Structure 1
Amino acid sequence: MQGDPHVRRTAALGAAGTLVTGTLIAGAIAATPASAGQQHHRGTAEDRGVRIAAARAAETGIDWQTCPADWGLKAPIQCGYVTVPVDYAKPDGRTIKIAVDRIGNTGGKKERQGSLVYNPGGPGGSGMKFPTRVTGKNAVWAKTAKAYDFVGFDPRGVGHSAPISCADPQEFVKAPKADPVPDSEADKRAQRKLAKEYALGCKERSGALLPHMTTPNTARDLDVIRAALGEKKLNYLGVSYGTYLGAVYATLFPDHVRRMLVDSVTNPSRDKVWYENNLDQDLAFERRWSDWKKWVAQHDAAYHLGTTEAEVEAEWEQLRATAKKNPIGGVVGPAELTNFFQKAPYYDSAWASTAQVWSAYVQGDAKPLIQNAGPDLNDTAGNIASENSNAVYTAVECNDAKWPTSWRKWDRDNTRIHQKAPFMTWANAWMNLPCATWPAKQHTPVEVRTGKGLPNVLIVQSTRDAATPYEGAVELHKRFKGSRLITERDAGSHGVTSLVNPCINDRVDTYFLTGRTDSKDVTCAPHATPQPSKA
């Protein structure tokens, strides 16, 4: 439910109503290399399996090579693979290869503190662009880059790591889709049919890997990656859903964590994962959507979309009605509009560009809106990536937890939330509805909590985040004793640590470089408010 893949939510409307061997005898585990890390004893077959896989990975390491040309990762970034079991209860069974990449620390051997492994969210997001923060000379991360190799990876099922699929990519992106807001019971029945078909498509197209697409298994993969990197303990940066992955990892492997920073936090409570989290998200999106409309109204001189929030909302409703009656350019209907405009509640870096596209349309130029909101059927690679991301999102969230199977409950809850939060509620519901008829086993979520040996975790969160409401950070803070919470007040951009805000940036650097946190939680003023784009 989190991260950049979420920006493609309503692209799923056409398909879902809308984020693949070796041996080591068990007796050898006691003598595993130091880089396999502290043993974590919990007694299940999966626990034994991850210890075996990590020991193998520690011994094998990673064969770093120049990245394949079509991966878009240029030297000095290097790429490789880490082998993991499909099923950790059967470590000698089928395996898949997890794609990883890295760039070395910039400060030399004396400053190096190991690898910093990154996950951007999703589920379904690729972390493989993380090393480009160094090659792109990202000033916010320059100090941390002196001490750490920046390591990214494609989680299981994503990108170059045995990718799964639930629908034909070209069909998946076709537009226009049905309006996510239903007008009748017939509309709801049509969306329910699409959701069920999508769930079956996941089973048919993803095969034997589908049941093993879970957050705990991805966390186990992360521990194998740690071992393959030769690290005794993990340094980790997780954003959005990546915070939940980190929280599950820290629960399963508390004594394998060295430094962990989680940014824009998914509520880890069992009764929130994942159905309730998505309902909470709908309300948070509405709040941030309101923030953006107020900002647009404040800059009416630039955009001419209304001088009050109410006027901007009326303009939005007019745009939706126009697109519903006659899709703009033949491809941009209400679903595509929701998909495009949700970028503004997600990231205030998109406030100005989104408003500019809308303003151009109102002033008679529809081309920017069609280009930005409509599908590009010629972008084969991009469409495959988009469909894959949505497939992984669906598989992980549906597998992770037991979802309601009663349509009456879905209908009642989303009808109620829609009255308060009409911007995203039904689009979100249709995207997640495949979980109501999911063809694989649904599990009980991990009880996230502090374990023996877990060091201080640093939590960073803005108060008006749309994708991951602030309450999630508070909940994780309660569950991880000794953690510190940095709050960015009166801000709502999703993913805080890459924005320029010295109050946050300096503390992030201090944490990764020294392990130190403030003695108390900290509240920071917001980062700079966006300004209208200059023509």
Structure 2
Amino acid sequence: MPKFRYLAPFVAAAAMVPLVPAVAMADGPDWKPCASVAKDWDAADQRTECAMVPVPLDYADPGGRTIDIAVSRIRATGERTGAILFNPGGPGQSGMAMPRDIAGSKAAGLLVHHDLIGFDPRGVDYSASLPCPGNETQPDPSLSEKDQARFIAERDAKANARCIAQDPALVHSFTTPDVARDMDRIREALGEQKIGYYGISWGTALGAQYRTLFDGHVDKMLLDSVMPPDLDVTAMDDGQATAGENTFHEFSAWIARYDVVYHFGPDEATVAKALLDLRAELTTHPRTAADGSPINGDTVNAMYADPRRQWADLAAQLVTIRDGGTPAPPSSAAKTGGLGWDTTPTGFDHFQQTALLCNESPSPRDFDTVWQHRLDRMRRDPVAGGFGLYEQLCVGWPEPARPWQLGPGTSPLQLVGHTYEPVTPIGWAVAMQRRIGGTLMTIEDDVHGSLSSLPCADAAVTFFDTGRTTTQSCPGAPIPAPRT
């Protein structure tokens, strides 16, 4: 797990960044209906407005190059008391649709007294970004698993190098502190002395960073599905693997409770063994589905640690496979790119995610160490140990790490953790609370960032209206019943 650092080193580092005067916007942002300016925006949405906010590329060089940050807004429907800025996480995810999404959610009450503000972080969709397609060339299947993994890591490292060469200064600026500073420019452009913030997933780290840098400009802050207080993608993969392994055993126990339906066994241990035996059988004797896709050990292993809402469907598919049938193939969708308002939005930029994580994580850059970590993880967590997504991204990354330095503040802070979640395990929320303070609310589910979809979203509305935090425990959505 990540090591804990103290605030003092950050204070010294922060003092090295010059105070940057605000970019002049005499009349504030030039708001226009998003449907009239942003490519592929939903034409039926006539409520959301869009604008660009100019920010320095490099906050240490305030008089130098500027870039544009795309911002969206839905105005408060009642007596306005402020504005709330949103980020959905990633990193690399677009936040432009979040005002509309929140306005249509169980947290819609936030819109009564607050303007809802979304934005694309630098490097994402409509904001300043890079056209940076990846290389999908696949390794020779006759290679060993390790050599196939090495091929992919080296392939991606070369693609990353080509992307960096397009605009090294922009890629260098893909960091959480720079995105936080962009948020403060958005606040200034809106004419707000203080601004609310609602962040999910990596957006919680972004919020913690903003509060560390600009605590005096925070009205109220809510962080849902909380990241750890130190970014280390090795530790992230470790934590997610452990949580995923726990999910496998919880899934096995759930199947056991419905043995009359699934017939894998009457207790967790028997079911877990049956599922692992099925994986071993398909690894030794793989099959081919009607569409030509493989059904092998990896096929079923990928089903073993999925969210509770999928358990009924997954258990039915596992029965089908066990009994000699084939499951339905997954769907896929193509994505494209662009520049500025003419961008074809994808909602996610993989290269921005890679750049930000690798610019900030002190994880290994060499393939052999990353591969050994994967083997160690798989020994500890036989089901979920191979699911790691993040550590491999940084193989060959040329930038030295600039780790997070988060500290406490005094502005109102509500944290929201999810008891069974494998994406941002509940322990991360506890560790973040110990580092930066705040009050922790728990949701009894495994759904990433689910607060706005649940009846207890009224706690968020109350918090932003009154500043009152809560330690309540909230029920999540029920697990679907088994199919009979």
Question: Which bracket does the TM-score occupy, shorter chain normalised?
Answer: 0.7 to 0.9
- Mapped partners of 1:333, 1:101: distance in 2: 44
- What value does the CA root-mean-square deviation take over the aligned residues? 3.6
Match of 1:85 among 49, 56, 59: 56
Match of 1:276 among 235, 238, 250: 235
Matched, 1:500 2:463: no
Counterparts of residues 262-411 of structure 1 (less than 5 Å): 262-269=223-230, 272-299=231-258, 308-316=271-279, 326=288, 329-331=291-293, 337=299, 341=303, 345=306, 347-355=307-315, 366=326, 369-372=328-331, 375-376=332-333, 380=336, 389-411=349-371
- Mapped partners of 1:219, 1:338: distance in 2: 41
Matched, 1:72 2:42: yes
CA contact (8 A) 2:227 2:428 kept: yes
Match of 2:406 among 448, 470, 488: 448
- Mapped partners of 1:240, 1:88: distance in 2: 25
Counterparts of residues 374-523 of structure 1 (less than 5 Å): 375-376=332-333, 380=336, 389-428=349-388, 431-439=390-398, 441-451=399-409, 454-481=410-437, 483-489=438-444, 491-502=445-456, 505-518=457-470, 522-523=471-472
Match of 1:63 among 31, 49, 53: 31
CA contact (8 A) 2:245 2:381 kept: yes
Partner of 1:224: 185
Shift of 1:70: 0.7
Matched, 1:115 2:67: no
Kindly indicate which of the two structures has a greater share of residues assigned to helix. 1
Determine helix, strand or coil for the equivalent of 2:150: helix
Q: Which amino acid aligns with 1:143?
A: G
Partner of 1:22: none
**TM-score, normalised by the number of residues in structure 1:** 0.75
Change (3 A) 1:516 1:523: closer
- Mapped partners of 1:243, 1:392: distance in 2: 17
Q: Which amino acid aligns with 1:48?
A: L
Q: How many pairs were matched up?
A: 460
Change (3 A) 1:214 1:122: same
- Mapped partners of 2:301, 2:50: distance in 1: 33
Change (3 A) 1:408 1:84: same
CA contact (8 A) 1:264 1:468 kept: yes
Q: Write out per-residue CA displacement over residues 453-502 of structure 1, whole angstroms, 9 at most, x where no aligned residue.
A: x3121001012221112221112211224x1111235x322213124253
Q: Which amino acid aligns with 2:479?
A: P
- Mapped partners of 1:191, 1:119: distance in 2: 31
Determine helix, strand or coil for the equivalent of 1:437: coil
Partner of 2:6: none
Shift of 1:524: 1.2
Q: Which amino acid aligns with 2:22?
A: I
- Give the gaps of 5 or more residues in structure 2: 1-12, 339-343
Determine helix, strand or coil for the equivalent of 1:84: strand
CA contact (8 A) 2:125 2:346 kept: no
CA contact (8 A) 2:29 2:52 kept: no
Shift of 1:413: 2.5
Partner of 1:38: none
Q: Write out per-residue CA displacement over residues 86-122 of structure 1, whole angstroms, 9 at most, x where no aligned residue.
A: 212222322222122122223x2x2x22221111111
Q: Write out per-residue CA displacement over residues 331-376 of structure 1, whole angstroms, 9 at most, x where no aligned residue.
A: 567799599748x63x43444455566666667775x73243xx34
Q: Write out per-residue CA displacement over residues 180-216 of structure 1, whole angstroms, 9 at most, x where no aligned residue.
A: xx95543443344234324324324554421111111
